[in-house]
Homo-oligomer: A and B are copies of this chain.
Amino acid sequence: MLNFAKSADGLLPAIAQDYETREVLMLAYINELSWQKTLETGTAHYWSRSRQKLWLKGESSGHVQKIHDILVDCDEDTVIFLVEQVGGAACHTGHRSCFHRKVQGSELITEGEKLFDPEMVYGKK
């Protein structure tokens, strides 16, 4: 159903989008294993490129993403997870969306408030 062979590293981009508002919450990568885990559990699983391991989104914060629908593109090399974002925020910064900054000239302007304090959720680092 997906063409994992298309990318050199076996990873394909997965867009998480709010199933109601259609806001794009984040983009992460999936491999065959995280794709199977997502289908089996109905909860978004990605492949962490930094940690090189299977990543259940929300495993630390509890802010998991419940899958409502999955869309596949024409080339079968990108998917959209239409999700319910538990806890309201997808971004590790506490913002609802990872895309909370807008280009304005040569600046990036932050929009929207933080829904949680990262230190409270992940602990001080």
Name A residues whose Cβ lies closer than 8 Å to a Cβ of B: 1, 8, 13, 15, 17, 21-24, 26-27, 39, 69-75, 78, 80, 91-93, 95, 98-103, 106, 108
Contact = CB atoms under 8 A, between A and B. Distances in A.
How many copies of this chain? Answer: 2
A78 B17 CA distance: 14
A29 to B, nearest CB: 10
A91 B78 CA distance: 13
B91 A74 contact: yes
Nearest to A106: B1
B1 A15 contact: no
Residue with the highest number of chain B CB atoms closer than 10 Å, among A23, A69, A78, A95: A78
